[in-house]
């Protein structure tokens, strides 16, 4: 049965889409840090802070697809990780570029709305999973390079406090 989407459903749809894009941006940021730490810095103290900032600015301009290509050329991420990132990027392309054109009509049926939002929620769940996986990989790598987990998280806490205006 076809019907218009209710305002509450539309609000939920927008909220879930925004949440998905927010988590996508976090994954991109984590991938930049992963590449920066494992591919550019390699070991603590290798670059000056200015050199590291310059490299970081360049990497932050890259799209998800470009980051995946950089990682694919490296030997420090698994092929499985690359395959999963490519699948994630494919869903991202649908959400960001094609969902309205390809699936917008489906929002006028109950099953279509359910399928549409389920795909967006699945994407968000994948993004959250990647965030944890990348974070854990960075922490493990830091420990391999004799950077303690406490130091890594102390820096994160300081940055969060700064963002919150506490310091």
Domain ranges of the chain: 7-127
Residue 147: is its pLDDT beyond 90?
no
Q: Report pLDDT digits (tens) over 102-138.
A: 777 887 888 888 998 999 999 999 999 999 999 999 8
Report how far apart, in Å, the C-alpha atoms of 166 and of each of 132, 150, 156, 162 are. Answer: 26, 20, 14, 6
Q: Are 24 and 89 in contact (CB under 8 A)?
A: no
How long a stretch of residues is the chain? 167
Residue 4: is its pLDDT beyond 80?
yes
Q: Are 24 and 13 in contact (CB under 8 A)?
A: no
| pLDDT score for 1 | 76
Residue 63: is its pLDDT beyond 90?
yes
* Assigned token pair, 108: 């006028």
* Rounded Cα gap, residues 123 and 22, in angstroms: 11
User: Other C-beta atoms within 10 Å of 35: how many?
Assistant: 21
> Which of residues 24 and 148 earns the better pLDDT score?
24
Q: Range with the lowest mean pLDDT among 19-23, 58-62, 99-103? A: 99-103
């Amino acid at each position: 049965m076809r019907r218009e989407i209710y305002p509450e459903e539309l609000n939920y749809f927008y909220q879930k889409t925004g949440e998905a894009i927010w988590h996508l941006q976090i994954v991109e940021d984590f991938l930049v840090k992963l590449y920066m730490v494992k591919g550019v810095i390699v070991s603590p103290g290798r670059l000056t802070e200015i050199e590291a900032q310059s490299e970081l600015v360049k990497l932050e301009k890259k799209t998800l697809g470009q980051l995946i290509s950089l990682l694919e050329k490296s030997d420090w991420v698994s092929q499985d990780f690359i395959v999963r990132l490519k699948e994630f990027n494919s869903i991202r392309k649908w959400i960001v570029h094609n969902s309205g054109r390809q699936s917008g009509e489906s929002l006028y049926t109950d099953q279509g709305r359910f399928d549409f939002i389920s795909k967006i929620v699945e994407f968000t769940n994948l993004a959250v999973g990647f965030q944890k996986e990348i974070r854990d990989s960075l922490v493990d790598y830091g420990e391999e390079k004799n950077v303690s987990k406490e130091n890594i998280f102390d820096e994160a806490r300081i940055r969060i406090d700064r963002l919150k205006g506490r310091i």
